[in-house]
Amino acid sequence: MQISDAEAIVIQVLWEQHPLGADEVVAALGSTTDWAEPTVKTLLNRLLNKGAIRAERDGRRYLYSPVLTREAWVAQQSEGLLDRVFGGRVAPLVAHFSERGKLSDADVRELKRLIEELEDDR
């Protein structure tokens, strides 16, 4: 399931709190975007059509909730990045960030810990 950057911003609101009406999603996005209600409703409809969210009727409005989990989306996005940019390999990704000084000492310690755990499991 392909989720655009704009759709990801909308579903993030629903991952944090749901169910929400379109007006509540608009309000939640008010501090980070300048999107009008029709724009948000269009994005909600796209997410509905993709099966990423669901809508339940609540009187005269709809309440939206996520179907796609954040964890599933992150896995999909990270695998796609690895495949597209690094040939499906993790080491070149880590090397890329290391070469650009984007790994903190805490990141390096965490990577070492993860490698040790992987080695212990073998």
SS3 67: coil
Tally of domains in the chain: 2
Task: Provide the CATH number for the domain around residue 32.
Answer: 1.10.10.10
- In this predicted model, what pLDDT tens digit does every residue of 86-96 receive, in sequence order? 999 989 988 99
Same domain, 103 and 51: no
Residue 62 domain-assigned (yes or no): yes
Domain of 16, in residue numbers: 5-66
Could you tell me the pLDDT band of residue 119, with boundaries at 50, 70 and 90? very high
Asked, for residue 71, whether it belongs to a domain, the answer is no
Q: Are 20 and 64 in contact (CB under 8 A)?
A: yes
Residue 23 has pLDDT above 90, yes or no: yes
Tell me the C-alpha to C-alpha distance, in Å, between residue 22 and each of 7, 17, 43, 47, 121: 13, 13, 10, 13, 47
Left, alpha or beta for 51 (phi > 0: left; psi -120 to 50: alpha)? left
What is the pLDDT, as a whole number, of residue 101?
86
Q: Indicate whether 93 and 59 sit together in one domain.
A: no
Same domain, 61 and 105: no
pLDDT tens digits, residue range 25-81? Answer: 999 999 899 999 999 999 999 999 999 999 999 999 999 999 999 999 999 999 988
Residues 53 and 93 in one domain: no
Cβ(12)–Cβ(52) under 8 Å? Answer: no
Question: What is the pLDDT at residue 69?
Answer: 97
